[in-house]
Amino acid sequence: MVEIMKYNIEFKRFGPQKEIQKLIRELITRIEKKTKSFSPDVVFLRLLVEENSVRTLYRVSITLEVPEKTLATKEERHDLDETIRDAFAEIERQLEAHKATLRGEHLWKRRARREATQTKMNAAPSEQDTREVFVRHGGRKANG
């Protein structure tokens, strides 16, 4: 039996069209795929879509609870489709960053950068470096 992520969707002040409901289901499925490394019991998504009819403005807020963190975003636009897509894109970005932190990527990427810097520093001296050594030693070529 395949367990799926738990979620709650709430619409305030309007009823969504079928296309919007379908879009939300597709975007939730994408999040589910990206969170399948976590237990479905610890992942919970809340989606609130609100319409301000006076200004025809849509506000979308998403919170995604994952191990060790709660990710959140809010988007506000006049186009509902665009607002939903942007909010989910931001949650996906935050989720990828959190997963990278859990994997310790920041540590091994830093180590790789440090090793690259060390390699550059230990490389053969450039012509400019040689000239500086020559000048520092009063015009005599330094040994080694």
The answer as to whether 128 is a domain residue is no
Domain range spanning residue 56?
6-105
Q: What is the pLDDT of residues 122-131, one digit of tens each?
A: 665 555 565 6
Angle at 62 between CA 60 and CA 66, to 5 degrees: 175
The CATH number of the domain where 97 resides is what? 3.30.160.100
The answer as to whether 32 is a domain residue is yes
Q: Is the pTM of this model over 0.75?
A: no
The answer as to whether 118 is a domain residue is no
Question: Which residues, 6+ apart, have CB-to-CB distance to 79 below 8 Å?
Answer: 58
The answer as to whether 36 is a domain residue is yes
The answer as to whether 13 is a domain residue is yes
Q: What is the pLDDT of residues 57-103, one digit of tens each?
A: 999 999 999 999 999 999 999 999 999 999 999 999 999 999 988 88
